[in-house]
Amino acid sequence: AFDTLMIGGGPAGAAAAVYAARKGIRTGVAAERFGGQVLDTMGIENLISVPRTEGPKLAAALEEHVKEYEVDIMNLQRAVKLVPATRPGGEHEVQFESGASLRAKTLVLGTGARWREMGVPGEAEYRNKGVAYCPHCDGPLFKGKRVAVIGGGNSGVEAAIDLAGIVGHVTLIEFMDELRADAVLQKKLRSLPNVDILLGARTTEVNGDGKRVNGLTFEERATGELHQVDLEGVFVQIGLVPNTEWLQDSPIELSERGEIVVDAHGMTSVPGIFAAGDVTTVPYKQIVIAMGEGSKAALGAFDYLIRQ
């Protein structure tokens, strides 16, 4: 059995593994896909002290760093069930799709999240070629250009306000007939000179020239008419879904959005089980934040162990 076992091998799980292993405790990482969302990214320019890197390069560096230590990495293992310890200080069990199961005195859950996609033609084809999901990450790539933000909830309206200060023009497209964001955000958005808001509009296609995005087609829902907008970028902001389906039947407390609720030490509602990164309620889903939170959760787990 492990002293501490990370479920997930993204920035959060990798950071937790390095911090735990450096305490000399028996450490493991089980992940469906070591590297996590970073593998789906190209340019990364906001990992402090690394002015520019690329997703696959960073994923390889994460693995290399973890491998500097005695850590059991179990890749291609998808967790399907968590069975918490029945007594304080007991072992928790994690069961995997493969039929395997692992036991550990503490766990760090770092299964991350995924952006909800529109599922329209062109979206997958032009991902990283004009289609983006993270304004903090990719906003500066569209400096002075025209972009659309899809989604009129808080994240969409926040993204539109943020982008309006960087890009040339923003078209916010919302499916419903009204925005769902907080009133104060809507007011701010409507005060910006370089933003258009389209309501009751269903995006039907992301258009491109084969290399990059050059426009978007939407349907005016009231009339069924199709319209085109010329632009260089599309930011999809219709939700970030935490990977917690496998915890639905566990006693771990989840928020309304399905995120794992953690305290200041990264501990969940179950003693000895910690969580970090995009899967938790901690706001602003970013690599540097996931790394910090993963490190913190591992220190929390170590602290918990020495008190048993």
User: In sequence order, what are the beta bridge partners of 94?
Assistant: 82, 102
Bridging pattern class, strands 225-230 and 131-132: unpaired
Q: Does residue 38 touch ligand FAD according to CB under 6 A?
A: yes
Judged by DSSP in three states, 107 sits in strand
Q: In the 8-state DSSP scheme, what is residue 259? A: P
The two tokens of residue 87 are: 């007594």
Bridging pattern class, strands 113-115 and 101-109: unpaired
Site map for ligand FAD, 231-270, x if CB under 6 A?
------------x--x------------------------
288, 292, 299, 305: which one contacts ligand FAD (CB under 6 A)?
288
Site map for ligand FAD, 178-217, x if CB under 6 A?
----------------------------------------
User: Which ranges constitute the DSSP H helices of 22-116?
Assistant: 55-67
Among residues 168, 135, 129, which one has the least CA distance to residue 149?
135
Bridging pattern class, strands 113-115 and 225-230: unpaired
Q: Does residue 300 touch ligand FAD according to CB under 6 A?
A: no
Task: Tell me which residues in 102-141 interact with ligand FAD (CB under 6 A).
Answer: 110-113, 115, 133-134, 137
Q: Catalytic residue numbers?
A: 134, 137-138
Binding residues for FAD, as ranges, are: 3-18, 268-278
What does the binding site for ligand FAD look like in residue numbers (CB under 6 A)?
7-13, 31-34, 36-38, 40-41, 44, 46, 77-79, 110-113, 115, 133-134, 137, 243, 246, 277-279, 285-288, 290
